Chains A and B, each alone.
Chain A
Amino acid sequence: MGQAQLEATNAGIPHTAIQCEHRGSVARRMQCVHCKGITEDVEVDPFICSHCGLNLFVRDHYSRRIAAYQGVCIDAEDPGNVPPSKGIYE
C-alpha cells in the first residue's frame, strides 16, 4: 500500500486524499537505517538486515517517502546480545 501511495503522491495527489484499506499480511517493509537497504516482509522483531547482516529492532517510525518502517541495530551497546525474535505485534 505504501508503495502505491508513493506513486500517487509523486504524481501530485496529497497523501491525505488517498484512502487505504489494509488486507492481508501485517508484515512490514523495513529500511535499515545503517546501510539504507530494504528488507521486505518482516514479521519478527528483531530481524537480520538482508543487505548488511546487522541485527535490527523494528521501530514504529514510518516514512511515506521510503514506504517503510525504520530498523535500528539492536545490539550496538552489547554486541551479540540479541533477544529471541517475537512476532512484531505480540
Chain B
Amino acid sequence: MSGAQKIAVTVTEIVPLNELVTRFKFKPTDGSLLPTFSGGAHTVVEMKDGAITRLNPYSLMSDPMDQTAYTISVRRDDVGRGGSLFLHRNVKVGDQMTISYPVNLFSLDLRAKKHLFLAGGIGITPFIAQIKQLERTNGRWELHYATRSVALGSYVDELTTKHPNEAHIYYDDQEQRIDLKNLLDGQPLGTHVYVCGPKGMIDWVRKTAADEGWPRESIHYEEFLAPKSGKPFEVKLAISNKVIQVGEDESLLEAMEREGVDAPYLCRGGACGQCETDVIDYRGNFIHRDHWLEDADHKSGKKIMPCVSRFEGKTLVLDR
C-alpha cells in the first residue's frame, strides 16, 4: 500500500499570479464529488515527465468544504528537480492528471483558544484553507505573512481585503520583518503557533518560541523537503533481489520505484515515517536529511528514510 488513494482529475484552470507562482484548479474527471478535508492537508500530484514519474506534495488552498474542486498554488523552482517546472511548462487546461486523497500532517489543534499563523512565501497556501475553515466556525486567528515584494505577494490583496484586522503583511524588499518576540509575548494563554515557509524561517520560529518558554506542543510546522540531489550511489535490495543505481537527481525512493519496487511512502518529504527502511548491511556514510528518525537511529546505521536521504560508500544493503 503506497501513498494514499488516488483520484483522477482534469485541470480546469491555470492562473499565473505573478512571476513565480501559478494557481491550478482540479475537478474530478468522472464528475463525482471530491473528498472533504481538513485545513493544512496536501495532495500528492503525479507528473509523468517522459520516463520519469514525479510525485510532489502541494498544500490544498481551496475551502475544505468545497467538494467540486481542489486548488493548489505552485512556486516555480528553476534550480529544483523539475516538478514545479513541469507543472508550469507542460500542463494545460483540459489535461488529465492523478492526485492523491488529501493527507494532513499540519492540522489545526481544535482545542486552541487562538491560532497564530506565520507564513513565508509560498508557505501561505495551507493557511488559506485553514482560514476558510476557521471562518466557518468563528475561530480566532491571526496571520503574519512575510513575502519578498508587492509583486510577488501571492494572495496579499485577497487576504487584506477580506481580513483587514487579522492579516499582517511584511515585505522583504522594504526591510519589514515580523517582530516575533513581541508577537509571541502578547499572545493569550492557549494560543497555538503554526509556521510554514523556508527552512530558515521555521528554525527561527521554533527556536524563538522555545527560548521564550513556549511548550513544544503549541508550535506546529510544515516544511516540504524537496529531496536534494547528490552523488550517485549503488544499493542492493535484499528482498527484491536487485542491485539498483540511484542517480544524481533522483531520490533513493524514486530509484526503487523506477526499478519496479513497490516501496511504501506517504509524504515523500522526510516527515511522516512511512518509508522507513531497515538497513541490513553497509560500508560507508549515511546522508540523513529527514525529520523522522531520532538521532540515535541516524547514528546506528540501521535505518534510512529513502524519500530524502542518501548514502555514499562501498555497500548499502536494504530490507526491501
Contacts and interface: CB of A to CB of B under 8 A. Distances in A.
A12 B190 CA distance: 4
Contacts of A12: 112-113, 188-191
B215 A13 contact: yes
B217 interface: yes
Contacts of A13: 189-190, 215
Contacts of B188: 12
- The size class of the interface chain A forms with chain B is under 10
B217 A11 contact: no
A14 B113 CA distance: 12
A11 to B, nearest CB: 6
Interface string B189-220: 11100000000000000000000000111100
Given A11-B189, A11-B190, A12-B190, A17 B113 contact: no
Interface in B106-125: 112-113
Interface string A7-33: 000011110110000000000000000
B217 A17 contact: yes
A14 B189 contact: no
Contacts of A14: 215, 217-218
Nearest to A17: B215
A12 B214 CA distance: 12
Contacts of B191: 12
A87 B171 CA distance: 66
A12 to B, nearest CB: 2
Nearest to A11: B189
A36 to B, nearest CB: 24
Contacts of B112: 12
A11 B112 CA distance: 10
Interface string B217-228: 110000000000
Contacts of A16: 215-217
A12 B216 CA distance: 13
Nearest to A12: B190
Nearest to B189: A12
19 contacts: A11-B189, A11-B190, A12-B112, A12-B113, A12-B188, A12-B189, A12-B190, A12-B191, A13-B189, A13-B190, A13-B215, A14-B215, A14-B217, A14-B218, A16-B215, A16-B216, A16-B217, A17-B215, A17-B217
Interface of A: 11-14, 16-17
Interface of B: 112-113, 188-191, 215-218
